[in-house]
Amino acid sequence: MTKKLADAVQRTAQRTVTQGSAAWLLATVTAAYDDGTVDISTATGPVERVRRLRSYHPQVGDRVKVARNPAGNWVVEDATAKAADAWQPISLRSGFTASGTAGDAPPMCRKNSLGMVQLSGIIVPTGLSTSASTVMGDMPAGVRPQFRGACMGVGDAVAVRIYINTDGTVSARLITGSAPSWVSLDGAQCR
């Protein structure tokens, strides 16, 4: 056997092992279906109707981790982190400011990979009442819930209902008490 032929056989054997072995790779979701599958685009081309894990909620354009086994089965495991997963500031409306107390978190929001919108931070409010909700601030465009959320929150000797609205606004309404010196957003979340 010549050296050239031996090298060709070696390359073919390596390619066969590589193609038949289990692997993971990154892909982009190009379509999402209600039956638990997605279409993806990989570096080697498109793959249709790939099963996804129950915990992953697909969106077209997501960058995802995909696993493939030697039998040729594919599965989308989850989306990789995006800049939107990071905490982003809430733009406060007139009459609302971030707490100036040392150690208090500023008002922030994020949308995690499961589609949950979460709030954090402490706001100094003015004009909150028990008769109507008041818009306190606006979330960035990429952080919007699919559904409106209503969460219980606390403040200085008050109970407050915090609304996370689909238009990106965050509003509040007092349940008990009056004129709080602060309101906490921590724990408020919805999808």
The answer on 93 and 62 residing in a single domain is: no
b/e burial code for range 68-107 (CB count within 10 A of at least 16 → b): beeeeebebebbeeeeeeeebebebeeebebbeeeeeeeb
Residue after which a domain boundary falls, among 29, 53, 79: 79
In which region does residue 5 sit, left (phi positive, over 0), alpha (psi from -120 to 50) or beta (all else)?
Answer: alpha
Residue after which a domain boundary falls, among 79, 96, 128: 79
The pLDDT of residue 75 is 93
Q: What is d(CA 139, CA 63) in angstroms, rounded to the nearest whole number?
A: 23
The answer on 134 and 49 residing in a single domain is: no
Q: What is d(CA 59, CA 130) in angstroms, rounded to the nearest whole number?
A: 38
Q: What is the CATH number of the domain that holds 105?
A: 2.60.40.1830
pTM: 0.61
The pLDDT of residue 17 is 52
The pLDDT of residue 56 is 82
The pLDDT of residue 18 is 52
The pLDDT of residue 86 is 84
The pLDDT of residue 21 is 60
The pLDDT of residue 45 is 87
pLDDT in tens, the chain (191 residues): 687 777 776 776 566 555 556 688 899 999 999 999 999 998 888 999 999 988 888 888 888 999 988 888 899 988 887 665 789 999 999 999 999 999 999 999 998 877 899 999 999 998 899 999 999 999 998 889 999 999 999 999 999 999 999 999 999 999 999 889 999 999 999 99
Pairing of β 117-120 and β 108-111: antiparallel
Residue 6 sits at φ, ψ, to 5 deg, of: -65, -40
Total structural domains within the chain: 2
Q: What is the CATH number of the domain that holds 55?
A: 2.40.50.140
The answer on 119 and 167 residing in a single domain is: yes
Closest CA to 21 of 70, 81, 68: 70
The answer on 138 and 53 residing in a single domain is: no
Domain extent at residue 24: 3-79
Residue after which a domain boundary falls, among 57, 79, 101: 79
The answer on 74 and 20 residing in a single domain is: yes
The answer on 116 and 177 residing in a single domain is: yes
Helix (H, G, I), strand (E, B) or coil at 18: helix
The answer on 114 and 37 residing in a single domain is: no
